[in-house]
Chain A
Amino acid sequence: MKAIITFALVLSASTALFAQEQRLISVDANATEILVNFGLVDQLVAVDLTSQRMVGPKALPDLGYHRDLSAEGILATNPTLMIGSNHMGPNASIEAIKSAQVEVITLEAAGSTDELVSNIQFLGKRLNKAESAQALVTQVRQQNQKLMDSHKREKPSMVFLLELSGRGLSQAGVGTTGAALIELLGGVNANSNPGYQSISMEALMEINPDVILIGSRQQGVNAAKELLKSNPLLAYSDAAKNNKVLHVNSGVMVAGVSLGVMKEAVKLSEQVYLAE
């Protein structure tokens, strides 16, 4: 009995501790997305450049590019906890922030669903949002299951292209978020080189993939329609004949597998495996 009371006391004390207003900083778009899903947007005091889109209309101080953070700028917002990915820097700034007694959490950029899940669980535990985290994990696992279920034994070949605002196309290779998206969709990436490379229409026709995924930086533009319109030649490709030139919201494809990428993948999967 005594033990139970003690346990209850400790539990309530720790809950009270965590219930205190935290001043959070996130310098990683994917982490920010998770925090917003935890309902912690009001505890965020500043975010980096790429996170701004995630926090919606709430205007937060902009900490700039997450590889060139200003330690003093961050400390000036008086944070209690800073969350970023292993890409944040420079090291001297991060060290200075740590030595000013601000807790710093460094997440691995997620390359797969499992890594995304472990990031969610880690943040849920640390921020005392276990329930929200569990709900999110369930959601991600369900999305992943749905994607797996739709996969075919014969994997379709796919390319992921980025429209370079009138300066041609760039094709996603190994290690890119585009490649991760293709894997989620159960396809084979036609590009085995690392990083992004520009690709000509002729080369694309030669590859003649089953599915062409295309993202654009311009918002409110259907990149797939634009691509077909500006390249009449593409109409002769298998992908176009089968209506498999698909628009991707590339705004969610910042760095690695995120909640946004999962959602986008589920949406795309339906289009990819639509009965022909």
Chain B
Amino acid sequence: MTVRRYSYHQVSVVLLVLLMVGMFLSITKGPMSLPMGQSLLAIWDGIWGSELNQLAEYQQVVVVDLRLPRTLLAMLVGALMAVSGAVTQGLFRNPLADPGIIGISMGAALGAAFSIVLLPVFLASLVTPVAAFFGALVTTLFMYKMAQSPAGTSVLILLLAGVAMTAFSGAIIGFLTYIADEQSLRDLTLWNMGTLNGATFIWVGLLAITFVVVFYFYLRDANSLNALAIGEPEARHLGIDVEKLKMRLIILTAIGVAVCVSATGIIGFLGLVVPHLVRLVIGPDHRLLLPLSALTGAVLLLIADISARLLMAPAELPVGLMTTLFGAPFFAMLIIQQRKQLF
């Protein structure tokens, strides 16, 4: 195990401060310029039903009904995606794994493509999240079944099945793309880049419940994931039911990421890179890695969303584009910096 460079407390304090700053900016900044103090008061009023702020009604709508749910959704999706990435990497004992590897993204994209291309516009906007959710869940469970043998769940078969499923789904999506009209094409492309535009409190509630449940079970398995890092036989010798662990974590991840994806479309990079960042700073212990990954994911998606909203105002960029655009070079830079330690 690599030596920890910073203490858990130092890192969590820094991340919490960043999260606070991010929330503050996300609520006070946007295409519409509003006084900062009044915006915060509007939130206060929205929660407690008081009437302290002096904003016009439409400005209150902007702060309370647009910025607030969006801020919360960004944090929850960021946290859930990042922590699911950390768990997937631990489960597969492969630093290149992300939730996409068990077919989630492809399955979700397939479901969304069916809905966007084949259904009329007014139906598609309602059905797409549901279709994406079930697409993700069904694909993942199918792959999990495929990887089962009398000897247990084979991680290798799961990976290979993932390659096959990805190619197959890709072909079907290709066919749907081929028959799609221009509007569906554009909708599909945008969906694949992810956006937090259209966040509502309903989504926030759904994500909050999912996050609490999934994160609770993840944390319970943090020690088992640590044991798994040494090797599957070793984990068995330590008394861990590896089969059950795999099943539990795959299903939890599928549900968590599927909910994220149906809320926002596909937001790339977070699940893959955030756990790496955190591991470089704090080491591979899952008991620390999981909570810190969640925090880092929340901070990063929040910052990405603020820039997505501001850069091209009054229009906005897809946030998935921002996460990848800024995240990938940053990741490359970190790897180069850490090269000596890695080898």
Q: Could you list which residues of chain A lie within 8 angstroms of chain B, going by C-beta atoms? A: 46, 49, 61-65, 67-77, 86-87, 89-93, 96, 99-102, 175-176, 195-198, 255
Contacts and interface: CB of A to CB of B under 8 A. Distances in A.
B154 interface: no
Give me the 7 closest cross-chain CB pairs, A-B, nearest first: A64-B315, A73-B314, A100-B58, A76-B32, A90-B198, A92-B198, A76-B31
A70 B190 contact: no
Given A92-B200, A100-B57, A70 B121 contact: no
Contact of B182 (A46, A91, A92, A196): A196
Contacts of A89: 121, 125, 198
Interface residues of B, number: 35
B195 A86 contact: no
Given A75-B58, A91-B125, 13 more contacts: A65-B186, A68-B190, A70-B314, A72-B31, A72-B67, A75-B32, A75-B61, A75-B62, A76-B32, A90-B125, A93-B198, A100-B57, A102-B58
26 contacts: A62-B312, A62-B314, A64-B312, A65-B315, A68-B190, A68-B197, A70-B313, A70-B315, A71-B66, A72-B66, A73-B31, A73-B313, A73-B314, A75-B32, A76-B33, A86-B122, A87-B121, A90-B198, A92-B199, A92-B200, A100-B58, A195-B179, A196-B181, A197-B178, A198-B178, A255-B183
A90 to B, nearest CB: 4
A72 B309 contact: yes
Which of B125, B186, B316 has the most chain A CB atoms inside 10 A of its CB?
A: B316
B314 A63 contact: yes
A195 B200 contact: no
Contact of A96 (B30, B61, B125): B61
Contacts of B314: 46, 61-64, 70, 73-74, 76-77
A61 B57 CA distance: 24
Contacts of B33: 76
B187 interface: yes
Contacts of A62: 312, 314-315
Contacts, number: 102
Contact of A195 (B180, B187, B316): B180
Interface in B158-198: 178-183, 186-187, 190, 195, 197-198
A197 B33 CA distance: 46
Contacts of A69: 197
Contacts of B182: 196
Contacts of A100: 57-58, 61-62
B179 A197 contact: yes
Contacts of B181: 175-176, 195-196
Chain A at the B interface: SS class: loop
A69 B312 CA distance: 12
Contacts of A96: 61-62, 65-66
A73 B315 contact: yes
Contacts of A75: 32, 58, 61-62
Nearest to A45: B314
A74 B179 CA distance: 33
B170 to A, nearest CB: 19
Contact of A86 (B121, B198, B316): B121
B59 to A, nearest CB: 8
Contacts of B67: 72
Which of A70, A93, A255 has the most chain B CB atoms inside 10 A of its CB?
A: A70
Contacts of B178: 197-198
Contact of A65 (B31, B58, B190): B190
B187 A67 contact: yes
A102 B32 CA distance: 15
Which of B125, B182, B315 has the most chain A CB atoms inside 10 A of its CB?
A: B315
B30 A72 contact: yes
Contacts of A91: 125, 198
A70 B32 contact: no
A99 B200 CA distance: 14
A77 B315 CA distance: 11
Contacts of A86: 121-122
B122 to A, nearest CB: 7
A67 B182 CA distance: 12
A68 B193 CA distance: 12
Nearest to A74: B314
B61 A99 contact: yes
Nearest to B314: A73
A77 B313 CA distance: 10
Interface in B298-314: 309, 312-314
A112 B187 CA distance: 25
Contacts of B61: 75, 96, 99-100
